[in-house]
Structure 1
Amino acid sequence: MRIWYNYHDKNIINKIDKSLSIKQQAIQAHFLRNKYRTQARKLMKDRKLAKYLDTNNCNLPFEYYENKYLKQGYSNNSLYEKILDASTRSNKTVNKIFGII
């Protein structure tokens, strides 16, 4: 299931509407990432691990990432470019749990 998720995660950039503003693209990418994460967890055979991931690596709201990157000094377009970029990267710790390096 993780391979399925990683495939979809990496292809988010190809699914967003490039005619939108950078902020709207970031919102769209964030939405897709959460959607794929939720779908992957629903499809997991190991329900205990899926519940663990839901609890310890849950979907966070878009505003969380806006605030996170604002505190790191990003602003304007660079803030939304950072969110957009982060939306297409898989969590290395979770990949390691699944034996994907």
Structure 2
Amino acid sequence: MIGKLSNVEVRIWYNHHDKNIINKIDKSLSIKEQAIQAHSLRNKYRMQARKLMRDRKLAKHLDINNYNLPFEYYENKYLNQGYNNNSLYEKILDASTRSNKMVNKKLGIV
């Protein structure tokens, strides 16, 4: 399937995997470790989705302009928004399973 799927097909694939991140993480881990695991899975699925894209030009554009940010970026982002302790990591967990609504809308996916 590498390089074979349309943008819509890839987005459907990505959304399915993105929504299932919460079911893939190890709930026996600390909330921080769960957030790290969720963040890692999301980045993995984003990279896999780009490999599946038939539109290689767009995939390259996304790699350059919408690259995967490190976990620490999100820790700092949410710390600056006033989150701390468990609420910080719960926020990262939540964000890891939420896809971009504007991209979905643009592709006609509701």
TM-score by length of 2: 0.87
1:18-33 alignment, distance < 5 Å: 18-33=27-42
* Count of residues paired in the alignment: 101
Q: 1:47 to 1:37 in 2, by over 3 A?
A: same
Q: C-alpha root-mean-square deviation of aligned residues, in Å?
A: 1.0
Q: Partner of 1:42 in structure 2?
A: 51
Q: Structure 2: how far apart are the matches of 1:99 and 1:70? A: 34
The C-alpha deviation readout for 1:43-77, integer Å capped at 9, x for no partner, is 10001111122222211100000000000000000
Aligned-pair identity in percent equals 85
1:13-92 alignment, distance < 5 Å: 13-92=22-101
Structure 1 residue runs without a partner (length 5+): none
TM-score by length of 1: 0.95
Q: Where in structure 1 do 4 or more consecutive aligned residues deviate above 6 Å? A: none
Larger Rg: 2
Structure 2 residue runs without a partner (length 5+): 1-9
Q: Partner of 1:3 in structure 2?
A: 12
